[in-house]
Amino acid sequence: MEFRRKLLSVFLILLTETFYGQGLFESATAADENPNKPAITFSGYGRGSFYGGSRSYDFQSVFGEFGVQGKLSINHAFLFADLRARGGLQYDSLYTTLQLKEAYAGYQSDKFDIYLGEKIITWGRTDGFNPTNNITPFDYFFLTADSDDQKLPNFLLDARWHITSQINLEGIVIPFYKPSIYRYDLFDLNESGDYQGFLHYESVTEFSPFILPAKTFKNMAASAKLNFEFPAIGFSLSWFRGYSTLYGFDIDTALITSLSFTELNYNIYLNPKTYLKNSIGLDFEIPAGRWIFRGETALNLTKDYENNMYVPNPGLQYVAAVERNFGGWDFILQYIGSYTYNFKPLKEIPPYDPGTPLPDYMYSVTYNELTQFNRRIFYQQEKFNHALSLYIGKFFAHDAVRAEIMGYYNITSEEWFVRPQVSWDITDRLQVSAGGFYSKGPDKSLYYYAFQVMNGGFVQLKVSF
């Protein structure tokens, strides 16, 4: 905690120098004249954000935040840091945190770039659905008006070779694993009801702590991308080997806590577990007059999926998108699909046979339901999965107001969401944003559980400098 206070003090001192002193400005001017002298630039913001109104929580995410970004450049070398101090309420928990969003050193030249540190890298050319983006973890339950807030950094080494002005090769090494944040513990997975007309049951589901992969050389992630940027087409080929930022669940313990002739109480404890995969990707973008066509696909290869419910089958994910502006309105229509190799439907559990020990039978039922839950997470509940998304946006009032809406519908699972938002730049430095998020899905689908936590409205007031 003391280190965080000192770090924040350093940034505030540098920020004060930027506004009230001439030292940093003069350094930047001198750097233009002499590239061997340092140039320091700062920017930042303060904002208040409210997100609330779900069925489970009146206040999902309410906070005030101060952020500052600084860059020190010396010839071809530089340092960059993005520091955010935040305090507020999230899902009934008060918190104060100092987040180092990014902090890395780098070197850039005509032929080679290299970066080392906490950095956010997002691969892919489609909008919001990126099968080739295996690097960046997300905090999907940090709810704000800005979806980029959900991106999390990795500590990584990123090296790029500019083979020509239009072709470059990028390689990334991530020494240790960082997962995305899925707050399934906020979902109400407990069930109750009557079984076969005579037995009332109550089941309680809890989650064990996430045990991350060991920090060893063999568990490091590695990836590479060969990128081409031509006037008629841009495309890239990519490869990733490492643990997925997405993860499933395994049964830790499932036990009967009490049993009578008419009532059964059952506790289930789940372990979050990730899995190792290889992914081969392709993405492209083709401008054609006023139309833009984009596509992205990834072949994901996994092992031991037949014996582990938390490991998805090998499969193919793909997105096809078309973008066009009509009368000042931006439209982006996307098809999102997946194909699951070696798909086998789950076997139905037969009615209870009194000759079968009840704990064994209950474990079979639980195993079957949780396997299906994992398949929903991976969108592998069917051999093919089909979905559509549509984005519509337009500027008004001399580009001071931006109105937009995004909708998503999964044809296979019948889940959907809609997210409208309006942003108004009151001045060059002051912006207000407001909108909402509403989703729904059939019984026991992911959106069925998520809508009770994530639906709501939001408003944000932001001042930048």
Nearest Cα to Cα of residue 393 among 416, 422, 430: 422
Rounded percentage of the chain residues whose pLDDT exceeds 90:
73
Average pLDDT, the chain: 89
Which residues, other chains included, contact 69 with Cβ-Cβ below 8 Å and sequence gap of 6+? 42, 43, 44, 80, 81, 82, 83
Which residue segments constitute the domains of the chain, with CATH numbers given? Answer: 109-464 (2.40.160)
Per DSSP, the residues of 189-201 read --EEEEETTTEEE
Residue 314, pLDDT > 80, answer: yes
Q: State the DSSP H helix or E strand holding residue 367, giving kind and residue range, or none if neither.
A: helix 358-377
- For residues 202-218, b (16+ Cβ closer than 10 Å) or e, as one string? ebebebeeeeebeeeee
Q: Lowest mean pLDDT of 128-137, 159-168, 348-357, name the range.
A: 348-357
First to last CA, the chain: 27
Q: How many angstroms separate the CA atoms of 373 and 388, rounded?
A: 22
pLDDT, tens digit, 9 for 90 and up, residues 252-299: 877 676 666 667 787 888 899 999 999 999 999 999 999 999 999 999
Q: How many angstroms separate the CA atoms of 196 and 28, rounded?
A: 76
Q: How many angstroms separate the CA atoms of 46 and 430, rounded?
A: 10
Q: How far is CA 405 from CA 169, 330, 425, 436, in A?
A: 36, 10, 18, 10
Nearest Cα to Cα of residue 256 among 175, 359, 370: 359
Residue 330, pLDDT > 70, answer: yes
Residue 89, pLDDT > 90, answer: yes
Max Cα-Cα span within the chain: 88
Q: List the structure tokens of 60.
A: 């999902």
User: Average pLDDT for residues 130-152, to the nearest whole number?
Assistant: 95
pLDDT for the residue numbered 16: 45
Q: How many angstroms separate the CA atoms of 84 and 148, rounded?
A: 14
User: Average pLDDT for residues 366-373, to the nearest whole number?
Assistant: 89
Per DSSP, the residues of 311-330 read SPPPEEEEEEEEEEEETTEE
Which bin fits 19, alpha (ψ -120 to 50), beta or left (φ > 0)? alpha
User: Average pLDDT for residues 111-134, to the nearest whole number?
Assistant: 95
pLDDT, tens digit, 9 for 90 and up, residues 400-410: 999 999 999 99
pLDDT for the residue numbered 35: 61
Q: How many angstroms separate the CA atoms of 414 and 409, rounded?
A: 7
Q: How many other C-beta atoms are found inside a 10 Å radius of the C-beta of residue 290?
A: 9
Rounded to two decimals, the pTM is: 0.87
Q: How many other C-beta atoms are found inside a 10 Å radius of the C-beta of residue 106?
A: 18
Which residues, other chains included, contact 83 with Cβ-Cβ below 8 Å and sequence gap of 6+? 7, 8, 11, 67, 68, 69, 98, 99, 100, 101, 103
Nearest Cα to Cα of residue 280 among 343, 339, 246, 236: 236
Q: Are strands 315-326 and 291-301 parallel, antiparallel or unpaired?
A: antiparallel
pLDDT for the residue numbered 199: 65
Interior angle at CA 447, CA 441 and CA 451, nearest 5: 100
The DSSP code for 347 is: P
User: Average pLDDT for residues 60-64, to the nearest whole number?
Assistant: 97
Q: How far is CA 120 from CA 78, 107, 175, 238, in A?
A: 16, 16, 15, 17
Q: Bridge partners of 320?
A: 295, 335
Q: How many angstroms separate the CA atoms of 262 and 252, rounded?
A: 27
